[in-house]
Copies of this chain bind each other. A is one copy, B any other.
Amino acid sequence: MRGDDLRFDEATLANGLRVIGEHNPNAATTGMGYLVHTGSRDETPEVAGVSHFLEHMVFKGNERYSAEDINRTFDELGAEYNAFTSEERTVYFGSVVADRVGALLDVLSELMRPSLRQADFDVEKKVILEEIAMYQDRPSRRLFEHANERFWNSHPLGNSVLGSTKSVSDLSRDQMQAYFDRRYAPGNVILAVAGNYEWDAVLAQATERAGQWPAFETHRDYPAASTFAGHEEIVDANLHRLHAAYYAPGVAVEDPDRYAASLLASVIGAGDGSRLYWELVDKGLADNASLSHEAQEGAGSFVGYVSTDPERADAVLEEYLKVIKDAQEHGITQDEWRRAQLRTATGLTFRAETPMGRLMSFATNYQTLGEYQSLTELVNEVMETPLEAGARLLEARPFDRDYLVTLGPKD
């Protein structure tokens, strides 16, 4: 919205760190984040979970800022802040009212130079192990941890973000330091800002705070994906519901068909108003029956989920697959496509309503694709993606190479 007032700012520091911004003079707040282009896909099995564990350790601070100092500073700033780790990136971010941008940049920059003290590491390991253990009582989460690894078939996109109890237990502080020293290169990091800020001041301060971080080379592997196809059943007599995960090969984020794949998944399985919704959820046959598309660097996937009464699981799963295969056999309609476009554009627009929401979209896009896209361009690209692009994707018959795994009380 108000796209005409927006301005994109972009600079690269001498050490390779890129600073980007989307300036909105009407915004009352400013979002800011360091996006590190590293995640579980960059881990070897011995250090599985290190990216996420490191994200936690970053908040333990350094010689100048203790964990308590960091916590207090964010509170005093009135900042909303957090961090997350995915397969592809680790992001540290915060939002403040616009006149506190400088102080936010200071504390976020401190975070990026963590001491990784042994004593902190030993305690934080327990925190991570608790987080892993927490999911034991969440069957859908357990299911997807298993399914993602199996589907990707030793491709690094199948690496678990949390790691396992064993891999985290075995991890040493020095291994984490080595990972940091290998992955947190300035050239592998973007500092992004969105909302109301003064570009010259941000750039000068970024140069002062981050410009001296030593530069070095980093590398990400992009092996070819050879995904797993087939059916699996996991029986857990303690469960009450039948949970199913569904995967099929999709397209990579750099593929021009990435929007077509998202729209196709939306027609088939969006949470509301899709074929799967009308056939299974709206009829009260399943509490969830969905399909979405995830585009990552170098590879993508269609990912679905079904949850239902074990007594009718066979019929529900049959119908679930039938809806997907019918779309592949007979295609989808122009009306369905247009409504998926409208829903997708609406979602993009409302997620971009705040500076932080906008930052997550444009900075992630920039980090992955190397170019800036305004919200208007993004929405236009979705609205101009033709039905024929979806039809072409179906002609490649992605759902012939699908993987379905169930977790439930019966075999």
A75 at the interface (CB under 8 A from B): yes
Residue pair A1, B29 in contact (C-beta under 8 Å): yes
A283 at the interface (CB under 8 A from B): yes
Residue pair A95, B350 in contact (C-beta under 8 Å): yes
Question: Roughly how many angstroms separate A353 CA and B97 CA in the complex, as a whole number?
Answer: 11
Instruction: State the Cβ distance, A310 to closest chain B Cβ, in Å.
Output: 10
Residue on B nearest A67 in the bound complex, by CB:
B282
A94-108: which residues lie under 8 A (CB-CB) from chain B?
A: 95, 97
Question: Roughly how many angstroms separate A354 CA and B234 CA in the complex, as a whole number?
Answer: 44
Residue pair B241, A287 in contact (C-beta under 8 Å): no
A327 at the interface (CB under 8 A from B): no
Of A152-160, A217-225, A337-345, the stretch lying at the interface with chain B is: A337-345
**Chain A interface category by residue count:** 35 or more
Please pick, from B76, B97, B129, B137, the residue contacting A239 in the complex, using a CB distance under 8 A: B137
Question: Roughly how many angstroms separate A75 CA and B339 CA in the complex, as a whole number?
Answer: 6
With A272-B71, A353-B354 given, is the CB distance from A309 to B346 under 8 Å?
A: no
Residue pair B72, A339 in contact (C-beta under 8 Å): yes
Please pick, from B26, B72, B123, B138, the residue contacting A283 in the complex, using a CB distance under 8 A: B123
Residue on B nearest A346 in the bound complex, by CB:
B78
A322-344: which residues lie under 8 A (CB-CB) from chain B?
A: 339, 342-343
The digit string for A25-41, where 1 denotes a CB below 8 A from any CB of B, is 01011000000000000
Question: Roughly how many angstroms separate A124 CA and B129 CA in the complex, as a whole number?
Answer: 41
Question: Roughly how many angstroms separate A31 CA and B194 CA in the complex, as a whole number?
Answer: 23
A139 at the interface (CB under 8 A from B): yes
A80 at the interface (CB under 8 A from B): yes
A14 at the interface (CB under 8 A from B): no
Question: Roughly how many angstroms separate A342 CA and B76 CA in the complex, as a whole number?
Answer: 7
Question: Roughly how many angstroms separate A346 CA and B95 CA in the complex, as a whole number?
Answer: 10
Please pick, from B130, B286, B342, the residue contacting A130 in the complex, using a CB distance under 8 A: B286
Q: Most chain-B Cβ atoms within 10 A of its Cβ — which of A29, A125, A130, A339?
A: A130
Please pick, from B1, B29, B126, the residue contacting A353 in the complex, using a CB distance under 8 A: B29
Residue numbers in B under 8 Å from A389 (CB-CB): none
Residue pair B309, A130 in contact (C-beta under 8 Å): yes
Question: Roughly how many angstroms separate A78 CA and B349 CA in the complex, as a whole number?
Answer: 9
Question: Roughly how many angstroms separate A353 CA and B137 CA in the complex, as a whole number?
Answer: 35
Please pick, from B128, B239, B350, the residue contacting A29 in the complex, using a CB distance under 8 A: B350
Residue numbers in B under 8 Å from A45 (CB-CB): none
A243 at the interface (CB under 8 A from B): yes
Instruction: State the Cβ distance, A199 to closest chain B Cβ, in Å.
Output: 21
Residue pair A137, B243 in contact (C-beta under 8 Å): yes
Question: Roughly how many angstroms separate A6 CA and B123 CA in the complex, as a whole number?
Answer: 48
Q: Most chain-B Cβ atoms within 10 A of its Cβ — which of A97, A124, A346, A347?
A: A346
Residue pair B131, A287 in contact (C-beta under 8 Å): yes
Residue pair A97, B238 in contact (C-beta under 8 Å): no
Residue pair A282, B350 in contact (C-beta under 8 Å): no
Instruction: State the Cβ distance, A148 to closest chain B Cβ, in Å.
Output: 19
Residue pair B284, A130 in contact (C-beta under 8 Å): yes
Residue numbers in B under 8 Å from A182 (CB-CB): none
Instruction: State the Cβ distance, A276 to closest chain B Cβ, in Å.
Output: 14
Question: Roughly how many angstroms separate A131 CA and B239 CA in the complex, as a whole number?
Answer: 16
The digit string for A259-285, where 1 denotes a CB below 8 A from any CB of B, is 000000000000011000000011111
Residue pair B72, A127 in contact (C-beta under 8 Å): no
A308 at the interface (CB under 8 A from B): yes
Instruction: State the Cβ distance, A143 to closest chain B Cβ, in Å.
Output: 11
What are 7 inter-chain pairs, A to B, with CB distance below 8 A?
A: A28-B353, A78-B345, A80-B347, A97-B349, A127-B284, A130-B287, A130-B309
Known: A1-B97, A76-B342; 4 extra A-B contacts, CB below 8 A, are A29-B350, A127-B283, A134-B241, A238-B238
